[in-house]
């Protein structure tokens, strides 16, 4: 790869098969119009602007090319600064965009399919891919201060080609006299999208101090069956039920989800379902041999809460002084059974509001909680140009990370922290697990079906066990009060289990049928973390395929899943999926295995919504005594 700089201050990036040509810097979406351009040695371009100087540094590191910008002169930073804008794309066939956070969208976009549409936006990590999968990734490794995004513009409005912008949100923060520098953008080339994006994710994780010490979470959460109706009495019933199972299910944690509080925001108060407060129940979870977990929505404040009644000045407002109100519940339905008609956002820049949040997490930790699920964390990320803060002067990312740093300080390094409905980049270095897709529910169809989860688990798998443990959401196991067929339950459970991230359920394990309990035991993670690889990533195929390496056995688990509504058959060549010519193959599952002999390819014939799991080994050794996660099987 190389940079090419032109006399007018435009520049090109030329990689193997991919080009970004005619690029220039932009401020607030408009190309800069410099009074003069100075080009120095070592790839430095200075643009003399009416109110200051913008300097670009086009460089190189051991992995590829680098680009950074420094702005000196104005008293206030612009809203957005793009070190690279208007770059004409050549040679690429697909664009990979990472979603902002939970729910995405994360996907490959075919450039030929883009019409006269709005720009396609990616966050944190983006990539351009050729027809043979050669890939150019683009990312800032440092995500501590500014939200970084990449915008792909279609060929219209006078443009004869697709163009790319890479920009940072500076949000008009004060500009010091010494100037303000953007994080460095890194451009890496690789022979395949999976390898290139995984290497970029690893570099970001290294820079941000990603947490990888916690064992893969295998836990029970109260939400996805009982929802807000879980109670202290039901907790005791469930603890007793779990103790009755033989052999004991090796759950690590039991987490109480939303519904214990009388109003949103009053996290240290409890409602009629928890008459004795949360200290006793959390300690009983510990005494039963589990980590005690608790759900908190730090930035949420209900209009019926004591918090709002006593501290209305703690609420974040827009520029006109109106409360930011993400939720309005004016009809029959009310969230979590509370009376709150409106839900506001806590202004964490208010020192007393910040101190309140600190007290919440310190208190729950003192009760014995060592698993914390923080939800609706996107509510803490508000563009500073659009809100009125008690203490202005920082970017939205900085305000959010101030809270994240405080939470980690209060819960301790040993606690497991699961983020949910969260922006990904600010959480790197703080979270141990992260929800990837939207909520799942009891049926395949509808808004709580698995469609979003399936898309996001594929798209975001490249950073699983690199930034944190990806959480695909709760696994539906129950054989009652559910619309999923037995085959759909099995298929989704195997898909969520093979990925190598968080494994959790809300189903009453002491009440479900024996085959469903056996399925849950089969998903137990092993002692060593291991994330699945997605062969054919970014390709359009009939079946979704995931491969998990079982290193101690010199073996692999391969799952083929038919997510369509029609039967599908597809050839999976082991040379493509595993880089192995021929292996011993077994059909595998919690019920046992069936030897298929040596094979160089698999040809699953799958009805709609069904899956086939295979155990593949270089030795003639069946998968007896092993879970899908690589743990010794004891069932």
Helix/strand/coil (H/E/C) assignment for every residue in 125-181 = EEEEECCCCCEEEEEECCCCCCEEEEEEECCCCCCCCCEEEEEEECCCCECCCCCEE
Query: What secondary structure does DSSP assign to 190-226, as a single string?
Result: ESSHHHHHHHHHHHHHHHHT----SPPPEEEESHHHH
Output the six-digit token pair for 251.
């759950």
Confidence of residue 156 (pLDDT cuts 50, 70, 90): low
Please say whether the beta carbons of 136 and 188 come within 8 A: yes
Is the pLDDT reported for residue 158 higher than 60? Answer: no
Does 538 have pLDDT greater than 80?
Answer: yes
When pLDDT is cut at 50, 70 and 90, the band that residue 518 belongs to is: very high
The stretch 47-59 carries a mean pLDDT of: 97
- Judge whether residue 157 has pLDDT over 60: no
* CA 496 to chain centroid: 15
Count of CB atoms situated within 10 Å of the CB of 229: 12
pLDDT band at 114 (very low <50, low <70, confident <90, very high): confident
pLDDT of amino acid 465: 98
CATH code, domain with 449: 3.20.20.70
Nearest to 343, CA basis, from 357, 313, 323: 323
Residue 313 within a domain: no
| Domain membership flag for residue 32 | yes
User: Do 95 and 71 belong together in one domain?
Assistant: yes
Q: Residue 189: which domain range?
A: 2-203
Same domain, 228 and 98: no
Mean pLDDT of the 418-423 span: 99
Count of domains in the chain?
A: 2
Same domain, 358 and 459: yes
Q: Are 413 and 90 in contact (CB under 8 A)?
A: no
pTM of the model: 0.96
Predicted pLDDT of residue 202:
99
Residue 607: pLDDT band (50, 70, 90) is very high
- Averaged pLDDT, 292-318: 99
Q: Give, in order, the Cα–Cα distances in Å from 349 to each of 52, 114, 266, 611.
A: 30, 41, 19, 49
| Residue 140 sits in the same domain as residue 286 | no
Is residue 320, in this structure, part of any structural domain at all? no
**Is 598's pLDDT higher than 70?**
yes
- What is the DSSP code (8-state) at residue 16? S
Q: Does 130 lie in the same domain as 232?
A: no
Is there a domain that residue 470 lies in?
yes
d(CA 19, CA 87): 9
The DSSP annotation for 229-250 comes to G--HHHHHHHHHHHHT-SSPP-
Q: How does pLDDT run across 216-253, given as a tens digit for each residue?
A: 999 999 999 999 999 999 999 999 999 999 999 999 99
Mean pLDDT computed over 363-374: 99
Mean pLDDT of 154-166: 80
Say if residue 277 is in the same domain as residue 413: yes
| DSSP 8-state code for residue 624 | T
Of 461, 495, 522, the residue that ends a domain is 522
More reliable by pLDDT, 499 or 625: 499
**pLDDT surpasses 60 at 574:** yes
Residue 610 pLDDT greater than 60, yes or no? yes
For 581, residues 6+ apart whose C-beta sits below 8 A from its C-beta are 574, 575, 600
| Statement to judge: residues 152 and 196 lie in one domain | yes
Question: What proportion of the chain, given as a percentage, has pLDDT over 70?
Answer: 99
By three-state DSSP, how is residue 416 classified? strand
CB atoms closer than 10 angstroms to residue 63 = 16
Query: How far apart (Å, rounded) are the C-alpha atoms in residues 57 and 72?
Result: 14
Which residue among 173, 203, 233 closes a domain? Answer: 203
Question: Alpha carbon of 10 to those of 18, 35, 43, 64, 88: distances in Å?
Answer: 17, 14, 12, 20, 12
Same domain for 6 and 30, yes or no, is: yes
Other CB atoms within 10 A of residue 535 CB:
20
589 belongs to a structural domain: no
Same domain for 253 and 191?
no
Res 159 pLDDT > 70: no
Q: Choose the final residue of a domain: 522, 548, 573.
A: 522
Domain at 139, CATH number: 2.70.98
pLDDT band at 557 (very low <50, low <70, confident <90, very high): very high
Shared domain for 232 and 93, answered yes or no, is no
Q: Are residues 197 and 292 in the same domain?
A: no
**Does 611 map to a domain?**
no
Query: Residue 278 domain-assigned?
Result: yes
**Nearest-CA neighbor of 536 among 613, 615, 461, 617?**
461
Please report, in angstroms and rounded to a whole number, the separation of the first and last CA atoms in the chain. 54
**Average pLDDT of span 402-423:** 99
Nearest to 302 by CA among 339, 258, 269, 354: 339
> Of 449, 472, 416, which is closest to residue 292 (Cα–Cα)?
416
Give me the percent of the chain exceeding a pLDDT of 90.
94
Alpha-carbon distance of 360 to 382, in angstroms, equals 22
Residue labelled with tokens 């790839």: 43
Same domain for 259 and 199: no
């Amino acid at each position: 790869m190389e940079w090419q700089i032109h006399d007018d201050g435009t520049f090109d990036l030329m990689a193997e098969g991919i080009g970004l040509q005619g690029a220039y810097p932009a401020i607030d979406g408009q190309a800069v119009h410099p009074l003069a351009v100075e080009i120095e040695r070592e790839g430095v371009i200075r643009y003399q602007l009416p109110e200051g100087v913008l300097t670009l540094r086009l460089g190189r590191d051991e992995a590829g090319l680098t680009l950074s910008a420094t702005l000196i002169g104005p008293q206030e930073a612009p809203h957005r600064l793009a070190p690279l804008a208007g770059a004409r794309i050549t040679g690429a066939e697909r664009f990979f965009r990472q979603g902002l956070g939970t729910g995405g969208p994360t996907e490959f976009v075919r450039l030929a399919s883009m019409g006269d549409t709005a720009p396609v936006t990616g966050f944190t990590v983006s990539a351009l891919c050729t027809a043979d999968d050669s890939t150019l990734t683009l990312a800032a490794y440092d995500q501590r201060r500014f939200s970084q995004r990449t915008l792909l513009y279609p060929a219209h409005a006078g443009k004869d080609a697709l163009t790319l912008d890479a920009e940072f949100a500076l949000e008009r923060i004060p500009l010091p006299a010494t100037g303000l520098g953007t994080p460095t953008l890194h451009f890496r080339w690789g022979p395949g999208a999976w390898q290139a994006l995984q290497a970029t994710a690893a570099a970001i994780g290294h820079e941000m101090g990603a947490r990888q010490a916690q064992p893969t979470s295998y836990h029970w959460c109260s939400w996805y069956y009982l929802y807000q109706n879980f109670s202290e009495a039901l907790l005791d019933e469930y603890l007793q039920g779990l103790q009755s199972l033989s052999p004991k299910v090796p759950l690590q944690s039991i987490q109480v989800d939303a519904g214990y509080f009388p109003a949103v925001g009053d996290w240290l108060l409890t409602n009629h379902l928890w008459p004795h407060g949360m200290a006793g129940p959390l300690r009983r979870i510990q005494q039963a041999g589990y980590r005690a977990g608790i759900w908190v929505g730090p930035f949420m404040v209900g209009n019926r809460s004591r918090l709002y009644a006593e501290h209305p000045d703690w609420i974040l407002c827009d520029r006109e002084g109106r409360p930011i109100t993400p939720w309005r519940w004016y009809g029959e339905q009310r969230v979590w059974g509370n009376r709150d008609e409106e839900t506001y956002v806590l202004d964490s820049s208010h020192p007393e509001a910040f101190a309140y949040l600190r007290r919440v997490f310190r208190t729950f930790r003192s009760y014995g909680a060592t698993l914390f699920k923080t939800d609706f964390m996107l509510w803490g990320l508000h563009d500073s140009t659009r809100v009125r803060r008690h203490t202005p002067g920082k970017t939205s990312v900085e305000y959010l990370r101030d809270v994240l740093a405080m939470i980690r300080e209060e819960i301790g390094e040993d606690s497991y922290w699961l983020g949910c409905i969260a922006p990904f980049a600010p959480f790197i270095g703080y979270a141990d697990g992260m929800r990837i897709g939207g909520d799942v529910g009891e049926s395949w169809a509808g808004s709580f079906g698995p469609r979003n989860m399936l898309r996001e688990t594929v798209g975001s798998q490249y950073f699983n066990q690199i930034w944190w443990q990806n959480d695909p959401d709760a696994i539906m196991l129950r054989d009652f009060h559910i619309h999923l067929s037995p085959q759909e339950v099995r298929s989704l459970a195997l898909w969520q289990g093979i990925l190598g991230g968080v494994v959790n359920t809300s189903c009453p394990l002491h009440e479900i049928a024996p085959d469903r309990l056996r399925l849950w035991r089969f998903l137990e993670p092993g002692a060593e973390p291991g994330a699945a690889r997605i062969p054919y990533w970014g390709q359009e195929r009939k079946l979704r395929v995931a491969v998990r390496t079982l290193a101690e056995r010199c073996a692999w688990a391969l799952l083929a899943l038919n997510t369509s509504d029609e039967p599908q058959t597809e050839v999976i060549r082991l040379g493509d999926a595993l880089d192995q010519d021929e292996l011993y193959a077994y059909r595998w599952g919690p019920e046992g295995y069936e030897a298929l002999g040596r094979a160089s390819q698999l040809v699953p014939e799958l009805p709609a919504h069904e899956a086939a799991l295979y155990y593949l080994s270089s030795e003639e050794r069946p998968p007896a005594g092993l879970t899908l996660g690589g743990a010794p099987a004891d069932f």
